Amino acid sequence: MAEVLSQQEIDALLSALNNGELQASDVAEKKDKVKVYDFRRAMRYSKEQLRSIMRIHESFTRLLTSYLSAQLRTFVQIEIDLVDQVNYHEFIASIPSKTILNVFDVKPMDGKMVMEINPQVAYAIIERLLGGHGDSSVKKETLTEIELALLQKIIIRAFDLYQESWKDVENIRVKWDALETNPQFLQIASQNDTVIVIALRTTIGEISGRMTLCLPHLIVEPVLPKLSTQQWLSSMAKKNVAQQDKLKQTIDNVSLPLIAELGRAKIPISDLLNLQAGDVIGIEAGELKVKVGKKTRFIGNPGTQKGHYAVQIDQVISTEGDEL
């Protein structure tokens, strides 16, 4: 409702305008800025949480690249192309009408996720597995049962690596459930549910395409508190401590050659050339240099112990890399 001015206030305003003390623009009605909000596309995840999701899947892409390179014996490159939150119906509309959709059960969340593999990527994988060059230029309408079984075996192993990528956040268990080729038959969430989509740009030999992961909110919601940067850094710190302990344990069991050098001697080349079996070479007597690998680490004296040659350590050399 507009504010009603008294006659005195109106006269004061007119006087200020006439005297130039007030500009007409100063009394113009200010309009509030209004942002349009689409309730059908509610944004459930913060940028920080999406960055944590990206870090998890960056780890997965590295593991998956190494695995596929070894299995297919060719150049494989997998990189994250996109991490975004969309409605489920938008995800379904974005993928081809004929594609390869692998559905997985995810525990302990009691939900399902999907991995979509573009046909050209799927054909390239199968070609390489069957001994071909990975050229998927020849398109097929459907895959045979044998081809599907080969692809399923590769994908199941890939999702063992997916579990490993999540272990710093949550110990999840992923089990292959079904394979679909028509997106319209895929029901892992309601049409307006928010899902996280991770698009992976994939190159196998000369063939390029996409693999896409879809995580419904039902799966992500239980781990949202763990997707903060602080929680992520804390888990990484614990992981680093565990790795350091494991590395120390491994180093403790490493064997190194230990050599006690009895002495050295200098002789002319003419004597060296005339050496025969039975000749005696005099060496400098005194303390022994004890080497670890190629570095002198100790000084000692020779002797025997229980009928075996031995060396007694008298001095520890603390300066690394310098020989005496």
- 242-263 tens-digit pLDDT: 677 777 777 777 777 888 887 7
Rounded to the nearest integer, the mean pLDDT of the chain is 82
Q: Which overall architecture, per CATH, does domain 258-316 show?
A: Roll (2.30)
pLDDT tens track for 184-197: 888 888 888 899 99
| Interval 188-214 mean pLDDT | 91
- Say whether pLDDT at 143 is over 70: yes
In this predicted structure, which of 127-131, 172-176, 284-288, 310-314 has the lowest mean pLDDT? 284-288
User: Can you give the pLDDT at residue 134?
Assistant: 65
- For CATH 3.40.1550.10, the residue range(s) in the chain are 41-239
> Domain 41-239: which CATH class?
alpha beta
The answer to whether 104 and 159 are in contact (CB under 8 A) is yes
- Read off the tokens for 295: 């570095």
User: Can you give the pLDDT at residue 68?
Assistant: 92
pTM across the whole model: 0.60
At 313, phi and psi to the nearest 5? -80, 120
pLDDT band at 91 (very low <50, low <70, confident <90, very high): very high
pLDDT tens track for 144-181: 888 888 898 999 988 899 999 998 888 899 999 988 88
- For CATH 2.30.330.10, the residue range(s) in the chain are 258-316
Which amino acid is present at 219? Answer: I
- The total of other beta-carbon atoms located within 10 Å of residue 199's CB is 18
